[in-house]
Amino acid sequence: MASAGGNPLVLPAVLHLRRSDADFTAALSERFRVLDFFSSGEPLPA
């Protein structure tokens, strides 16, 4: 999806800290770039 100027749409980022159901996560991902520690599989920094 691109804007009228031809630039790609940049979604605002959201840091998702809680586990939630798949429907909520999918809806959130449609509107935002979701930064999710649970699905990344990488350990949190100490």
Domain spans, the chain: 12-41
pLDDT of residue 9: 79
CB 14, CB 35: distance < 8 Å: yes
CB 22, CB 28: distance < 8 Å: no
CB 11, CB 33: distance < 8 Å: yes
Q: Which residue has the higher pLDDT, 2 or 41?
A: 41
CB 15, CB 33: distance < 8 Å: no
- What is the pLDDT of the chain when averaged over all its residues? 74
CB 8, CB 2: distance < 8 Å: yes
Q: Which residue has the higher pLDDT, 3 or 21?
A: 21
pLDDT of residue 21: 84
45 pLDDT band, cuts 50/70/90, is low
The one-letter code for the residue type at 3 is S
